[in-house]
Chain A
Amino acid sequence: MNLFSTVLKNDERAIYELRSLYKQYGYSLYKVSKFEEYDLYAENKNFLINQNVLTFTDTNGKLLALKPDVTLSIIKNIPADSSLTQKLCYNETVYRPSSESGGFREIMQTGLECIGTIDLYAECEVILLAMKSLATVSKDYILDLSHMGITEGILETLGVDGNVKEEFLHLMKGKNVQGLKKLCEKHRISSSIQTNLCSLIDLYLPIQRALLVLQEFMVGEKMQTAYENLTRISQFFSENGLDEHIYLDFSMISDVNYYDGITFKGCINGIPESVLSGGRYDKLLHRLGKKSDAIGFAVYLDRLERFEYQAAQYDVDTILLYEKETDIQSVFQKQRQMQANGKSVFATLNLDPSLRYRQLIQFTNGGIQILETND
């Protein structure tokens, strides 16, 4: 463990810690191929975070894609009519365009999927694992929870469609309450619905307090069912004293064609974007002709890279400078001896001036001489 913490970078350490965490809960590692037939993504474009996919032609003329997502590849292989629960985790590279530089990037992603019969316990277990995943990186984390039933319920009360619905969704995602009010007025939406919508989007509280506030806005069966679901989840975590990190945030909206039920996002104080996202995606499975339900999440490891990053002061502890005539057996012995003391040793014939070192040692057949010490 000590070795891990000193040698591995944040994201690399997270890979191992998360894998062992998921294993404790019976999740088995699932390996998928680096590429898939492009059709899989073309049919489910909106499920992808970014719809640009890196494609190429196989030797037989088939259009393939370097996978932009792991979930689709996993559920494609789930038997169509099985209700048995499978718990799978993965650690894969995905290829997505970078929003800044425009070109495609290789991104390391880890995550898990629980597929089969999903009951309250399965939901809570996945949320718990999401929280534990965040906690492996930092204890100062927040898991935002939302429910598609509530989002859909409020959209139904608005009674809007097409472009107008898109406009509403855009403003809701941006917590733009003033914009929502204006849009409601433009489309002559009653003031009570307007108030409900704005309070819902503006709401950002720990789950228990949020549920108390929420109680009065819940209209219709869809919202009521969602509310009950959230209440049970809240009870499970509060009874175990784990609810302080869970917040409700209904500005977090996922695609209604794929997600239903709870959705969540994880943030860590010090990383400016969310590092984990997931939820119930039964609808995606049903679209692919499977009878099972599913819940899962992904951790974006690339976003951990810069977190609490402390640049090493030195590239290497010791530079062992030897000469052409030096006996290499004694160089080897000397290097081993210093390594045994936990030092990193860079043995070289010539000194690279850009290297930062603690100690520079010259080693000749005549003996050893310390040329420079920087500590």
Chain B
Amino acid sequence: MKPMINVALPKGRLGEKAYAIFEAAGYECPSIHEESRKLIFENEEKGIRYFWVKPSDVVIYVERGAADIGIAGKDIILEYSPDIYELADLGIGKCRMAVAAKKDFCDFRDRTLRVATKFPNIAKTYYASLSREIDIIQLNGSIELAPILGLSDVIVDIVETGTTLLENNLEPKQTIVEISARLIANQVSYKFKNESICSICDKIHQIL
């Protein structure tokens, strides 16, 4: 019997786009489009089971084996550095992790830089590579407010178009890393369900 592959999809637009890729690759699950309160959707014939989770939780589900594979943004993978395999770049959800500040911000290197971010590990690694001393201010949302109100000097955040930044008189200063959605797999599932996972991966590669 074909093993069932559990797929963790991130809730929201990215997850819907990712599901569309799975669908196009031949792993459709029509019940997912129905309006319902169901959390898990499966297509037994194709051996696939989907569930929606909070985007930042996808790596946890996959690392701990509750999901065999999942779709996670590179930002989340870099932030949590889970022990997983990164099998494909889906090329969707493209954006970049950037340092942004007020347009007239001038960085003086004689002071500790105050950095507000949702991604403390990415920020720490980036500034450590520049040997810059920083003070991390971890926020959970509305990061753009921090430099405006003087809570921080700069922010490290995801920039898609830059419109939100511009509207708030901020601008991206440096790009840290390019981000896109990745297909990730649990390391043990990859071994025991190798055939199924590799065939999903191949079919996805074909349509990308």
Chain B positions within 8 Å of A178 at CB level: 88-89
Chain B positions within 8 Å of A274 at CB level: 187-188
Task: Tell which of B66, B86, B194 has the most Cβ of chain A within 10 Å.
Answer: B86
A269 to B3 Cα, complex, angstroms: 12
Verify if B190 is at the interface (C-beta below 8 Å from A). yes
Determine whether the beta carbon of B63 is less than 8 Å from that of A272: yes
Contact A179:B190 (CB < 8 A) given known A272-B64, A272-B65: no
Task: Tell which of A140, A269, A272, A274 has the most Cβ of chain B within 10 Å.
Answer: A272
Contact A142:B191 (CB < 8 A) given known A272-B65, A273-B83: yes
A265 to chain B, nearest CB (A): 9
Pick the contact of B192: A142, A174, A175 (CB < 8 A).
Answer: A142
Interface SS of A by simple majority: loop
Closest to A170 in B: B81
Determine whether the beta carbon of B188 is less than 8 Å from that of A272: yes
A175 to B89 Cα, complex, angstroms: 12
Determine whether the beta carbon of B85 is less than 8 Å from that of A175: yes
Closest to A249 in B: B191
B71-100 contacts to A (CB < 8 Å): 83-89
Chain A positions within 8 Å of B186 at CB level: 272
A273 to B83 Cα, complex, angstroms: 9
Chain A positions within 8 Å of B83 at CB level: 273
Chain B positions within 8 Å of A272 at CB level: 63-66, 186, 188-189
Q: Kindly supply a per-residue 1/0 record for chain B positions 177-198, scoring 1 wherever the CB is within 8 Å of any chain A CB and 0 otherwise.
A: 0000000001111111010000
Chain B positions within 8 Å of A110 at CB level: none
Contact A204:B194 (CB < 8 A) given known A175-B85, A175-B87: yes
A267 to B89 Cα, complex, angstroms: 27
Closest to A247 in B: B191
Closest to A205 in B: B194
A274 to B189 Cα, complex, angstroms: 11
Pick the contact of A251: B63, B64, B66, B85 (CB < 8 A).
Answer: B85
Chain B positions within 8 Å of A174 at CB level: 84-86
Closest to B60 in A: A100
Residues of chain B whose beta carbon lies under 8 Å from any beta carbon of chain A: 63-66, 83-89, 186-192, 194
Closest 8 CB pairs of A and B: A272-B65, A175-B85, A176-B86, A174-B86, A269-B192, A267-B188, A178-B89, A142-B191
Residues of chain A whose beta carbon lies under 8 Å from any beta carbon of chain B: 140, 142, 144, 174-179, 204, 247, 249, 251, 267-269, 271-274
20 example contacts (A-B, Cβ-Cβ < 8 A) are as follows A140-B192, A142-B192, A144-B191, A174-B86, A175-B87, A175-B190, A176-B86, A176-B87, A178-B89, A267-B187, A267-B188, A267-B191, A267-B192, A271-B65, A272-B65, A272-B186, A273-B65, A273-B83, A273-B187, A274-B188
